[in-house]
Amino acid sequence: MAQPLFYRKEPLFGLDIGHGNIKVVELARKNNRYHVNGYGRANFLDSTMDNGVITDPKKVAKAVFELLTETVIGGIDTTRIATSVPVAQSFTRMLTLHKMSDEELRSAVELEAEQYIPLPLEDLYLDHESYPSLSDDEDEIDVLMVAVPRRVVDSYVELFNLLNLEVSLIETSLISSVRGVRHSLSGSLEDDAPPTLLVDFGARSCDLSIFDQSIRVTGTVDKGGEDITAAIAKGMKITSSKANTLKIRHGIDDKGQHQAALMKAISPVLDGLIHEIKKIERYYSSRATGGDKTIENMIILGGGANLPGLDAYLSKKSGLTTTICNPWKNIDFNQLQEPHSIETASFTTAVGLALAGEEAQCD
């Protein structure tokens, strides 16, 4: 979005706080190409967060500090950050409205927020951005509305104050991830990409979005990597630890002795995801210029994207060409060690945050 919750044009690094883990990325632009200054990840106790609110900022601050000063690969040489809040703790909606003045638009968005969001406006940070409508109606515009509870954002600000980090930008992880995917496709944020469906496969949920010059449709499936692990453990009557090992090692791409049992356990979770993918695809196609636009490509990202065989399974079931996002594709590491392939897609949000400065310049 051109005007996220907070923004100031300064050199920055991306800091992504996920489900029990932190990822950081700092990039430098040289000769029209980005290079990695530093990157890394660290874990922290998930009990230090509650519904998106950082309840024990000192413990999380300790994990961030150790990552930035001890375990980061390369280095972080700025104290300004761009960060994101989880989609699950935000409210994102695409509205179709008639063209109106800026003041009327703000009022219309606030009215929609009051009707749609189960929190009073004074408890929210509310933002919006307008785009040309997908329909043929020249009197209409599409408006992306984003709202985040103040208690969530304020807990992040408290954390960064403890670390003496200056907040340059806070946005939802959905927006960051889209930026990371766009850059991975062409090495730029200015080139138009074809309409693409994104699936951010997280630990507790899967966030879906369709990008067509902007985020056009969003959705969420309340199942993720942890649900697959739990389903395997229950279906095969094994411990969660062993179930997770089987998931990572074999997934749905193994032809060995575990294949039938794994598929029986995993299928219900993935079938729910396929249902939502087809639903959001139909909704987009029905709205886009008389129904003559279709989605052909799907990109999966997030910590669960590297489940063995996931891309082939989703491609077969959805009929869409499916690939795993590599956010580092158009970025140089120089002499730095590159992340393990199993972690590649999980850095999409952090890379997208590190690229936030370039998008602001494009806007």
**Tens-digit pLDDT profile for residues 70-120:** 999 999 999 999 999 988 889 988 898 999 999 999 999 999 999 999 999
Q: What is the CATH number of domain 6-227+267-362?
A: 3.30.420.40
- The reported pLDDT for the residue numbered 186 is 82
**Tens-digit pLDDT profile for residues 110-145:** 999 999 999 999 999 999 999 888 777 789 998 999
3 pLDDT above the threshold of 80: no
Is residue 46 left, alpha or beta, with left meaning phi > 0 and alpha meaning psi from -120 to 50? alpha
DSSP annotation of 307? S
Buried b (16+ CB within 10 A) or exposed e, 166-203: ebbbbbbbbbbbbbbbbbbbeeebeeebebbbbbbbbb
Strands 6-7 and 166-172: antiparallel
293 pLDDT above the threshold of 90: no
Mean per-residue pLDDT of the chain: 89
Q: Say which amino acid occupies 231.
A: A
Among 111-125, 169-183, 214-228, 288-302, the minimum mean pLDDT is found in 288-302
- The reported pLDDT for the residue numbered 287 is 74
pLDDT, mean of residues 16-27: 92
User: pLDDT tier at 9 (50, 70, 90 boundaries)?
Assistant: low
- The reported pLDDT for the residue numbered 137 is 78
- What torsion do the CA atoms of 212, 213, 219, 222 make, to the nearest 10 degrees? 100
- The reported pLDDT for the residue numbered 138 is 84
Q: Report percent pLDDT > 70 for the chain.
A: 93
**Residues sharing a CB contact under 8 Å with residue 74, sequence separation 6 or more, in sequence order:** 26, 36, 37, 38, 39, 336
